[in-house]
């Protein structure tokens, strides 16, 4: 779950036909997730919810024609970023779709996230969700001089997979206010993602479609622009390894990068960008403690056995 460090003003702006519009085929319904706030007097349970990242959502022309399909944009609906955003609608997902299409299951005291979910329209791989404070705003965490805990189950996470809980510097409203009216969907539909890897696979950045120089043959498909911001990895793990990593950037908030500032690996510019992609990580195995965390089996004993739930 990626959340936000800073607040952002929410404003309503008059504009021409808006970008990143909202579809009406499926009403958005957020799965519930409990959160406990604790102090010296005890803990209070709050019922919050999560929202699916916008990159996973169905994007169409307001009817049933796809704006994006099989890794590529429809050239008629999306000849340029602005026209694409005006033509295309991002649809919702109900709790049933969260489970049956995206493999996201609320189980009372937490979430279960499936890696592969097969549907009649194809297979969905992975997911990314954000904790909501209310229906239209992400939960803002202010953790200085405070404790943050979570319970995870890595028992069925093999090598090659990454189950992550982390914070990124997204805007509280998902970028609605700062988009100048070009983003109508906002946090309610999981918009505004960024991280220190400056991902180029974001379909929309600041309410505009990332269609310029879109490479549909890349894995994943990518566009010209990346979406950068600071990142704090609390938990990145599978059943074999785990890491805790801060990734600072030289700027504040979401930044749409272009060229060298993105720090792209394929251009040999990883260390020339605005964010520290490597970060300063703590990985117990790499730092020399080979018996602290791992999957306990015959001949391999660990202080923390990843076959058990851990907090």
Active site residues: 231, 236
> Which residues is 140 bridged to in the sheet?
4
Largest CA distance in the chain: 66
Going by the DSSP 8-state scheme, the letter that residue 56 receives in this structure is G
Q: How many residues does the chain have?
A: 311
State how far the Cα of 290 lies from the Cα of 163, in Å rounded to an integer.
21
Contact 212, 160 (CB under 8 A): no
Contact 247, 275 (CB under 8 A): yes
State how far the Cα of 21 lies from the Cα of 13, in Å rounded to an integer.
14
Neighbours of 271 (CB within 10 A): 9
State how far the Cα of 115 lies from the Cα of 125, in Å rounded to an integer.
6
State how far the Cα of 190 lies from the Cα of 131, in Å rounded to an integer.
10
């Amino acid at each position: 779950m990626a959340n936000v460090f800073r607040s952002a003003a929410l404003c309503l702006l008059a504009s021409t036909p808006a970008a990143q519009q909202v579809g009406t085929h499926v009403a958005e319904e957020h799965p519930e997730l409990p959160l406990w706030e604790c102090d010296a007097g005890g803990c209070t349970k709050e019922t919050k919810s999560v929202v699916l990242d916008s990159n996973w959502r169905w994007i169409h022309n307001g009817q049933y024609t796809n704006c994006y399909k099989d890794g590529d944009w429809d050239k008629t609906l999306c000849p340029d970023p602005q026209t694409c955003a005006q033509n295309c609608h991002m649809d919702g997902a109900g709790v049933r779709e969260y489970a049956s299409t995206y493999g996201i299951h609320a189980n009372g005291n937490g979430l279960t996230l499936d890696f592969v979910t097969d549907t009649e329209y194809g297979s969905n791989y992975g997911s990314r969700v954000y904790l909501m404070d209310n229906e239209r705003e992400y939960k803002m965490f202010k953790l200085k001089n405070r404790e943050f805990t979570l319970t995870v189950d890595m028992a069925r996470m093999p090598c090659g997979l990454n189950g992550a809980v982390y914070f990124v510097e997204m805007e509280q409203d998902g970028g609605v206010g700062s988009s100048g009216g070009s983003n109508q969907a906002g946090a309610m539909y999981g918009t505004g993602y960024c991280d220190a890897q400056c991902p180029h696979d974001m379909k929309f950045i600041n309410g505009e479609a990332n269609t310029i120089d879109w490479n549909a043959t890349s894995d994943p498909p990518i566009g010209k622009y990346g979406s950068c911001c600071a990142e704090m990895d609390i938990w990145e793990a599978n059943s074999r390894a785990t890491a805790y990593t801060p990734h600072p950037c030289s700027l504040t908030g979401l930044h749409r990068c272009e060229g060298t500032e993105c720090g792209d690996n394929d251009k040999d510019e990883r260390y020339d960008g605005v964010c520290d992609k490597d970060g300063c990580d703590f990985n117990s195995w790499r730092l020399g403690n080979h018996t602290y965390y791992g999957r306990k089996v015959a001949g391999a004993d660990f202080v923390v056995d990843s076959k058990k739930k851990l907090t």
